[in-house]
Amino acid sequence: MTGDRHGCENAALVRRREAAMPHFPAPVVSRLPQVGTTIFTVMSRLAQECGAINLSQGFPDFNADDALFERVAHWMRTGHNQYAPMAGVPALREAVAGKVAALYGSTYDVEHEVTITAGATQALFTAVAALVHPGDEVIVFEPVYDSYGPAVELAGGRVVRMQLAAPDYRPDWAAVAAAITPRTRMIMINSPHNPTATVWTAADYDRLAALLRDTGIIVVSDEVYEHIVFDGLQHRSCAAHPELAARSIVVSSFGKTYHITGWKVGYVVAPRELMAEFRKVHQFNVFTVNTPVQYALADYMAEASRHLGLAAFYQAKRNLFRDALAGSRFELLPSRGTYFQLARYSAISDEGDVAFCNRLARQVGVAAIPVSAFFADGRDERVIRFCFAKNDTTLNAACERLRAL
């Protein structure tokens, strides 16, 4: 009897709650109607479902250095588990400023010009949210990392897309000059470049500086692969170019550098005026970042060889991957930086790149990314992207399957 009474009361409570719920007069209007699940999530899920070797999403399948884990545990055990300062732990900001000064000859004030972020994607989004106003135009270079456009659109801005053409994917500076209007507020650049693995030259930065001279245009420079540059090339940071540094927000990532993408920790350096605006948004969309991890990273950065040796480490993996596919029917495009390799597959199939990547995962057992996903219009150049940030055994197993095509 008691149970029946409680059941009736519960049912009545559910009815009252349902009656109190708002009923929308129309479907929710999306602010990003063209955006679905990212291709990285889609392909990684497919790889898992098919048991395919995952060369799609850009993360390593190997662990970071045990010394880094030890430092995190140390700071946890010694009680550094509460909120860090909004801008980041001072020791880590000092380490970042020291690294930037050593590599690029640029001095950033630790108190006002360095901020630790919850990864690079958050930093990019925050920079756009802080500085782009409704109606502003933001120039990006396609193929483009997929977070740039949505960030601009959510800020009310308009994305202006410049095309990078295969196989070298170099900027067309005359086209960029023609695209600049009085509404241009920002240019977002990325070198070393995902997904094309190109690296901008000193001449590229000089051309960009000349185009922006006497304008108020801000540069957001995505440099998360700054330490992964091959064949004796040098990464040219906006921080190293005085004219560009004065108008640039420079973004980098500890995740890419120390094989800890899942920790989601990055940083931004920028002139004081830009950083003040950046922090106004940062304090509300993140506020602060994992405290013991920040202290650990500050300790770990003290040994510069840990980031300076990254280029040789990944160049060996790139060479292994390219050598293993040398006898295949894939046409490998230049890979000058990042841990990505583009490949044309026209000699294998005339399928679109999405269909080809789906078949590659399901039938061949290797997951890759269709490069059309990096174009707003889905432009399909029959090119796919592999990630070689994997153990050598993983790469060899994948290449054995790919050579069979």
Distance of alpha carbon 44 from the chain centroid: 16
How many whole angstroms separate alpha carbon 87 and alpha carbon 113? Answer: 9
- Neighbouring C-alpha atoms within 13 Å toward the C-beta of 349: 15
For the record, the structure tokens of 5 come out as: 């009474």
The domains spanning 39-58+308-403 and 82-302 adopt the same CATH topology: no
Cα–Cα distances in angstroms (integers) from residue 84 to residues 121, 283, 291, 298, in the given order: 20, 12, 5, 13
Q: Give me the amino acid identity at 159.
A: V
On the 0-12 / 13-18 / 19+ scale of CB atoms within 10 A, 329 is middle
Q: Give me the amino acid identity at 375.
A: F
Of the candidates 333, 290, 367, 326, the one whose C-alpha atom is nearest the C-alpha of residue 56 is 367
For the record, the structure tokens of 196 come out as: 């094309």
| Buried/exposed 48-84: b ≥16 CB within 10 Å, e otherwise | eebebbbbbbbbbeeebeeebeebbeebeeeebeeeb
Q: Which residue(s) pair with 159 in the sheet?
A: 138
On the 0-12 / 13-18 / 19+ scale of CB atoms within 10 A, 88 is buried
Pick the CATH number of 82-302 from 3.40.640.10, 2.60.120.20, 3.40.50.850, 3.90.400.10: 3.40.640.10
pLDDT by 10s per residue, the chain, length 405? 444 544 455 666 656 666 666 665 677 889 998 888 888 889 899 999 999 999 998 999 999 999 999 999 999 999 999 999 999 999 999 999 999 999 999 999 999 999 999 999 999 999 999 999 999 999 999 999 999 999 999 999 999 999 998 888 999 999 999 999 999 999 999 999 999 999 999 999 999 999 999 999 999 999 999 999 999 999 999 999 999 999 999 999 999 999 999 999 999 999 999 999 999 999 999 999 999 999 999 999 999 999 999 999 999 999 999 999 998 999 999 999 999 999 999 999 999 999 999 999 999 999 999 999 999 999 999 999 999 999 999 999 999 999 999
The values of phi and psi at residue 36, to 5°, are -120, -155
Span between the terminal Cα atoms of the chain, in Å: 70
| Strands 266-269, 248-253: pairing kind | antiparallel
* pTM over cut 0.85: yes
Which DSSP category does 360 fall into? Answer: I
Q: What is the predicted pLDDT for the residue at 1? A: 44
Count the Cβ atoms, other than its own, within 10 Å of residue 179. 16
For the record, the structure tokens of 116 come out as: 């630790």
- Structural element, H or E, at residue 302: none
Q: What is the predicted pLDDT for the residue at 19? A: 62
- Neighbouring C-alpha atoms within 13 Å toward the C-beta of 168: 5
Query: Would you kindly state where each structural domain of the chain is located, as residue ranges?
Result: 39-58+308-403, 82-302
On the 0-12 / 13-18 / 19+ scale of CB atoms within 10 A, 14 is exposed
For the record, the structure tokens of 259 come out as: 């094989």
Q: What is the predicted pLDDT for the residue at 2? A: 45
How many whole angstroms separate alpha carbon 259 and alpha carbon 97? Answer: 21
- Residue 188 · residue 181 · CB < 8 Å: no
Q: Is 37 helix (H, G, I), strand (E, B) or coil?
A: coil
Cβ-proximal residues to 224 (8 Å cutoff; 6+ apart), any chain: 120, 194, 251, 252, 253, 255, 256, 266
Cα–Cα distances in angstroms (integers) from residue 253 to residues 68, 77, 267, 282, in the given order: 16, 25, 6, 16
- Structural element, H or E, at residue 99: helix 90-104
Which CATH code for domain 39-58+308-403? Answer: 3.90.1150.10
Q: Give me the amino acid identity at 67.
A: A
